[in-house]
């Protein structure tokens, strides 16, 4: 993951336009796939599907097995404020004035005698279907038919959902998508549909009926359910993931807001299309799900504005954020306290206000893009994509088009972009941290403290007067110490264990010559271990034991270095019987901001944590001594 993030960062920094081109290409491919799948509506042929004309659907040359199912869209007979039964049309003496209307769409888009129809009311639809033959296993798919309705094929009732009535007190809404097998007696048959609406947002044929082979329709229904569940699960997981990120790092509210957006869209995914949530909980009243659908709609946009404000704080006006929050809170309250009938009155005003919010939002993103804010082009592209999907969904909800509802797909793409942004953000943070650790390591490697070098040379001068052989040994140790300190390559984070131990031994021999009997040294090293370890990892710990553990003691003490293998672990132990440390001193030792507490200990801690996911173990008792233990996976070390 770390390697991927680093490569991802470098590639992005050097190929911004390539990344943008690739991202937009993905958007276009997904959009085309989604729209194509929605527009074809299960049809497996390039043949243009027919439509109903003047209340008649001509299907004499349509093969349901080869060409798939077909939507019964087009011009239906329409009888407003009448609940007519099939037998009513069989009575030639009875005259019923009909109108020809477009299906599917809400009947509030109709005009009769120059008057626009209200959302509430009741009506009868009728269509004549003309087949070339009577196919086997023919079925009608009601899909997401939310309106209360009854359906007849000729004189046989095949479907009912809720209670259809001309009285709002007796009409009862219910949602029950169903696939119904029909057995027409003739090649020509009538489909009669009664619909009443006194509570839902849209009345009438908002979604059309589908006619086709029952097995093919059942397969398509199952596929759609699988897609809905996939989107729900994916978006839900990403929402929980982002909220978890916020809980781990509460300073960044963008992850919280985006996580909430994902949860809202995940819930809405189960409320759109086949309304799987209602299928899972059929005993829950329909109006609860309709309220929940409105709530997710109202809150999602508000949290999205808050998310953009966190990502681009300098470009998002504070009044705009407050305005969006007030709008979201107001409409959320209306959805909670008002009935569906009153709540539906707020949908159109909200959609108008949403257009204004989206316009301002686009201006914010364009402003951020022009100012070359980080990730602005990605967010702008994703938002434009979602806006196109939202326009598609709005037009579908009004029945203007019938391509399907795809806002979950748009959010899914936006989640992809957000993941890309988080990965890039993580890669940059990791890259900068890695460079900082390497810079600190190089500083430690090259850092020969003047007082240490001065004292060592004074010691050598004094020893020269007494023993030239001992002076020669000290010079060799100093040479080894200096050579090890400068020999690490800048890009080589690891060194042979033998090299590390030579560095430590050279240092300890020099210190032993300086402090004589005040410093005792014990080596307990398994010489059969050959591997690589992080460079400059042992000497700073040993130096801390000498400087902060032994030297403050009046009578000195002993430093013991143990290197051994335990199962598949390399164990490095540095212990002393010096002054020890309190809990406060131990905390300061691991605090990188405390420069006097320890020599390079925080650097070692950070590198061990980053490479192995482990921490240095330090056990110290005041007046007794300190034990520092490193446990490194030997298999990892051998493969480095």
Same domain, 156 and 203: yes
pLDDT attached to residue 83: 92
pLDDT tier, 9 (very low <50, low <70, confident <90, very high otherwise) = very low
pLDDT attached to residue 400: 64
Same domain, 602 and 615: yes
Query: For residue 431, is pLDDT > 50?
Result: yes
User: What is the C-alpha separation between 322 and 107, in angstroms, rounded?
Assistant: 37
Domain that residue 570 falls in: 447-639
Which are the contacts of 487, defined by CB distance < 8 A and separation ≥ 6?
A: 499
pLDDT attached to residue 561: 93
CATH number of the domain bearing residue 508: 3.30.565.10
Query: For residue 269, is pLDDT > 60?
Result: yes
pLDDT tier, 277 (very low <50, low <70, confident <90, very high otherwise) = confident
pLDDT attached to residue 293: 85
Residues 578/552, Cβ–Cβ less than 8 Å: yes
Query: For residue 367, is pLDDT > 80?
Result: yes
Q: Is 442 contained in some domain?
A: no
Choosing from 213, 248, 265, the residue where a domain stops is 213
pLDDT tier, 144 (very low <50, low <70, confident <90, very high otherwise) = low
Percent of the chain with pLDDT over 70: 78
User: What is the C-alpha separation between 335 and 342, in angstroms, rounded?
Assistant: 9
Place of tokens 């946009």: 301
Same domain, 203 and 230: no
Same domain, 125 and 228: no
Query: For residue 557, is pLDDT > 70?
Result: yes
pLDDT tier, 607 (very low <50, low <70, confident <90, very high otherwise) = confident
Same domain, 508 and 399: no
Same domain, 394 and 291: yes
Q: Which of 206-215, 375-384, 478-487 has the lowest mean pLDDT?
A: 478-487
Between 376-397 and 347-370, two packed helices, what is the crossing angle to 10 degrees? 160
pLDDT tier, 39 (very low <50, low <70, confident <90, very high otherwise) = very low
User: What is the C-alpha separation between 407 and 414, in angstroms, rounded?
Assistant: 10
Question: How many domains does the chain divide into?
Answer: 3
Give SS3 for 364. Answer: helix
Q: Is 204 contained in some domain?
A: yes
Query: For residue 524, is pLDDT > 50?
Result: yes
pLDDT attached to residue 478: 74
For 211-254, what is each residue's pLDDT tens digit? 999 999 888 888 888 888 888 888 898 889 889 888 987 887 88
Same domain, 225 and 205: no
Average pLDDT over every residue of 147-173:
86
User: What is the C-alpha separation between 346 and 333, in angstroms, rounded?
Assistant: 11
pLDDT attached to residue 193: 93
Same domain, 121 and 28: no
Q: For 451, what's the count of Cα atoms within 13 Å in the CB-facing half-sphere?
A: 1
Query: For residue 299, is pLDDT > 90?
Result: yes
Residues 123/82, Cβ–Cβ less than 8 Å: yes
Same domain, 597 and 492: yes
- Name the residue with higher pLDDT: 521 or 42: 521
Same domain, 85 and 31: no
Average pLDDT over every residue of 390-414:
69
Query: For residue 360, is pLDDT > 90?
Result: yes
Can you say whether the dihedral through the CA atoms of 445, 450, 451, 454 is positive or negative?
A: positive
User: Does the N-terminal peptide bond of residue 104 adopt cis geometry, omega within 30 degrees of 0?
Assistant: yes
pLDDT tier, 635 (very low <50, low <70, confident <90, very high otherwise) = low
Same domain, 31 and 104: no
């Amino acid at each position: 993951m770390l390697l991927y993030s680093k490569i991802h960062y470098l590639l992005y920094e050097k190929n911004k336009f390539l990344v943008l081109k690739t991202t937009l290409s993905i958007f276009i491919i997904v959009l085309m796939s989604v729209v194509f799948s929605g527009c074809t509506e299960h049809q497996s042929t390039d043949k243009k599907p027919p439509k109903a004309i003047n209340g008649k659907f001509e299907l004499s040359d349509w093969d349901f097995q080869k060409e798939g199912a077909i939507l019964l869209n087009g011009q239906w007979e329409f009888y407003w404020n009448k609940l007519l039964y099939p037998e009513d049309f069989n009575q030639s003496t009875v005259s019923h004035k009909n109108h020809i209307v477009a299906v599917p769409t809400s009947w509030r888009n109709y005009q009769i005698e120059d008057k626009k129809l209200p959302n509430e009311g009741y009506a009868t639809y009728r269509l004549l279907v003309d087949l070339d033959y009577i196919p086997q296993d023919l079925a009608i798919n009601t899909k997401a038919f939310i309106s209360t309705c009854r359906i007849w094929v000729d004189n046989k009732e095949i479907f009912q959902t809720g209670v259809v009535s001309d009285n709002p007190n007796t009409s009862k809404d219910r949602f029950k998508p169903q696939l119904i097998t029909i057995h027409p007696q003739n090649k020509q048959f009538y489909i009669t549909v009664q619909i009443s609406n006194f509570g839902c947002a849209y009345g009438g044929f908002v979604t059309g009926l589908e006619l086709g082979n029952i097995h093919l329709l059942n397969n398509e229904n199952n596929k759609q359910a699988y897609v809905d569940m996939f989107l729900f699960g994916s978006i839900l997981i990403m929402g929980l993931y982002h909220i978890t990120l916020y809980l781990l790092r509460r300073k960044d509210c963008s992850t919280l807001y985006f996580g909430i957006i994902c949860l809202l869209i995940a819930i809405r995914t189960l409320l759109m299309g086949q309304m799987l949530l209602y299928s899972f909980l059929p005993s829950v009243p329909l109006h609860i799900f309709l309220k929940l659908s409105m709530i997710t709609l109202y809150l999602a946009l508000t949290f999205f504005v808050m998310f953009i404000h966190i990502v681009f704080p300098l470009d998002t006006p504070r009044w705009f954020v407050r305005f969006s929050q007030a709008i979201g809170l107001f409409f959320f309250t209306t959805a909670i306290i008002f009935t569906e009938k009153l709540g539906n009155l707020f949908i159109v005003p909200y959609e108008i206000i949403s257009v204004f919010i989206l316009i301002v939002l686009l201006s914010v993103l364009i402003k951020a893009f022009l100012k070359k804010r980080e990730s602005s082009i990605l967010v702008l592209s994703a938002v434009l994509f979602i806006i196109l999907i939202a326009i598609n969904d709005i037009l579908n909800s009004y029945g203007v088009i019938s391509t399907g509802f795809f806002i979950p797909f748009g959010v899914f793409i936006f989640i992809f972009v957000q993941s890309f942004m988080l990965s890039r953000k993580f890669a940059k943070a990791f890259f900068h941290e890695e460079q900082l650790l390497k810079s600190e390591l190089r500083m430690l490697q090259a850092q020969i403290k003047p007082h240490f070098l001065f004292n060592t040379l004074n010691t050598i001068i004094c020893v020269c007067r007494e023993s030239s052989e001992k002076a020669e040994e000290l010079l060799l140790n100093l040479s080894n110490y200096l050579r090890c300190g400068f020999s690490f390559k800048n890009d080589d984070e690891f060194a042979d264990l033998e090299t590390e131990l030579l560095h430590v031994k050279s240092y300890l021999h020099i210190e032993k010559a300086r402090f004589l009997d005040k410093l005792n040294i014990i080596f307990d090293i398994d010489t059969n271990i050959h591997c690589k370890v992080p460079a400059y990892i042992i000497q700073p710990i040993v130096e801390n034991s000498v400087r902060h553990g032994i030297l403050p003691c009046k009578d000195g003490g002993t430093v013991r270095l143990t290197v051994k293998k335990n199962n598949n672990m390399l164990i490095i132990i540095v212990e002393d019987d010096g002054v020890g440390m309190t809990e406060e001193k131990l905390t300061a030792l691991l605090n990188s901001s405390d420069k006097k507490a320890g020599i390079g200990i925080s650097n070692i801690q950070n590198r061990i944590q980053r490479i192995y996911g482990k921490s240095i173990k330090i056990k110290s008792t005041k007046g007794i001594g300190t034990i520092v233990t490193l446990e490194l996976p030997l298999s990892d070390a051998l493969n480095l």
